A = this chain, B = another copy of it.
Amino acid sequence: MAKPQLTTQCIDCFCESIAFQSLSKSEIDLLNAHRVELKFNKGEVICKQGSFATHLLFVQKGLTKSYLEEDSRTQILCINPPGCFLEIPSMSVDNVFHYTVAALEDVEVCFFDLSAIKKVAQENAKFAWFLMKIGHEAQILTFDRFFSLTQKQLHGRMADILLCLSNRIYGSYEFVLAFSRKDLADLTAMSNESAIRILKDFKDDGIIETDGKGIKIVNLEMLKKVSRFG
| Chain A residues at the B interface, C-beta cutoff of 8 Å | 68, 70-71, 73, 75, 77, 88-93, 98-99, 118, 121-129, 131-133, 135-137, 139-140, 142-143, 145-147, 149-151, 189, 228-229
In Å, the complex CA distance between A15 and B180 comes to 53
In Å, the complex CA distance between A90 and B136 comes to 8
In Å, the complex CA distance between A123 and B123 comes to 9
> A146, B142: Cβ atoms under 8 Å?
yes
> Known: A140-B93, A150-B149, A151-B189. Contact between A128 and B132, CB under 8 A?
yes
**Total copies of the chain:** 2
Contact of A135 among B99, B123, B136, B151 (CB under 8 A): B136
In Å, the complex CA distance between A137 and B93 comes to 7
> A92, B129: Cβ atoms under 8 Å?
yes
The winner among A70, A71, A124 for most chain B CB atoms within 10 A is: A70
Contacts of A91 in B (CB 8 A): 132, 136
Contacts of A89 in B (CB 8 A): 136, 139-140
Contacts of A228 in B (CB 8 A): 71
Instruction: Give, as a whole number of angstroms, the nearest-CB distance from A208 to chain B.
Output: 23
> B121, A125: Cβ atoms under 8 Å?
yes
> A135, B129: Cβ atoms under 8 Å?
no
In Å, the complex CA distance between A90 and B143 comes to 12
> A146, B146: Cβ atoms under 8 Å?
yes
> A146, B92: Cβ atoms under 8 Å?
no
